[in-house]
Amino acid sequence: MLRNFVRQRFFVVLVLLVVMLVFFTLTQERFLTPENMSAMMTSSSILWVASLGLTFVMLAGGFDLSIGSMLALCGIGLGWFTNEAGLPLFVAIILTILLGVALGAIVNGIPIGKYGLSFLVVTLGSLILFRGLTNLWSGTKTQQVISPFLDELAFGSTLGLPNPIIVMIVTFLIMLYVQKYTFFGRDVYAVGGNAEAARLSGIRTSRTIIAVYALSAGLAAVAAVLQDARIGAASPQVGDNLVFAAAAAVLLGGTSFSGGIGGVGGTVVGVLFLGVLQNGLSVGGVESYWQQIITGVILIAAIALDLVQRRRTTRSKSLRSSDVQPVSSAS
């Protein structure tokens, strides 16, 4: 029943996405131009990458409030590795991603996966911790990150496609492969569906949970590289609203808070939905605060729909269980 509802929700979002595309195309001359479409996709690249990581956490039945702070921290890290440490950019990017993976595993994954602490409590704490470390490391100051490679990453193109879009496509394909064709992907679904049953079947649930938080933080670090490249600087102020937009995208795409249902394909549709909506409103001259209000309403609606359906599913299971009559043995 829950799976059917998720499919219906995904279909509704997909239809609404098409309706929005048609509406904005008919009402705004500049909307469907190649330049605007490219700008819309490029501006969605950071949310796209971060949302893919959050998808795996939610598939495993968890949530990560700290991805915005992680993005800011890793962005500052990239700036420090290049400016202060004087490392080659390629090395700095690798270290930035490893920093995210390590912090995601140690600060979020181990307390949640190994010691069973609440993911909301842990990731709320790490949100504050990472933001504090960001301000400490940066001195609350923005620092320039100047690199021809980063300029090319943000504003260049390959085979006619903007490079951020290529990063989006490659990241999606890798995560789709991991989700569908690896033991890790199957373990994530099993843990999210029923962690105790997964443990009894031999899956190392704690290791899987640690891994999804490491993956989420690692992709937040990749998003940080895109962020630094896009603005040409490492700013401690970025990422404040990232987790809310990412949660809206993941939920709109059909991944449930209860875990075990959904996937990265739906998340991409959710990101595109938000991207088209915000771009269409921007091109139409709608103020940014109205865009935030509309995004907030969408997030509340997505959470409410997910909660209502989980309750219906639980009630349906209870009714079916009560209908089962005990079989008496013959004497």
- What pLDDT, in 10s, does the model give residues 262-304? 999 999 999 999 999 999 998 888 888 888 898 888 888 888 8
Q: What is the pLDDT of residue 263?
A: 95
186 is a domain residue? yes
Q: With cut-offs at 50, 70 and 90, classify the pLDDT of residue 321.
A: low
Q: With cut-offs at 50, 70 and 90, classify the pLDDT of residue 6.
A: low
Q: With cut-offs at 50, 70 and 90, classify the pLDDT of residue 316.
A: low
As given in the structure block, the two tokens for residue 327 are 């079989």
The pLDDT of residue 308 is above 60: yes
107 is a domain residue? yes
Domain count, the chain: 1
Q: With cut-offs at 50, 70 and 90, classify the pLDDT of residue 330.
A: very low
The pLDDT of residue 307 is above 80: no
The pLDDT of residue 52 is above 60: yes
300 is a domain residue? no
Query: Which residue range is the domain that position 151 belongs to?
Result: 45-239
Q: What is the pLDDT of residue 4?
A: 58
The pLDDT of residue 317 is above 60: no
Task: Quote the mean pLDDT of the chain.
Answer: 90
141-200: per-residue pLDDT in tens? 999 988 899 999 999 999 889 999 999 999 999 999 999 999 999 999 999 999 999 999
138 is a domain residue? yes
203-228: per-residue pLDDT in tens? 999 999 999 999 999 999 999 999 99
185 is a domain residue? yes
210 is a domain residue? yes
156 is a domain residue? yes
76 is a domain residue? yes
Q: Give mean pLDDT, residues 93-98.
A: 98
Q: With cut-offs at 50, 70 and 90, classify the pLDDT of residue 313.
A: low
Q: Give mean pLDDT, residues 240-258.
A: 91
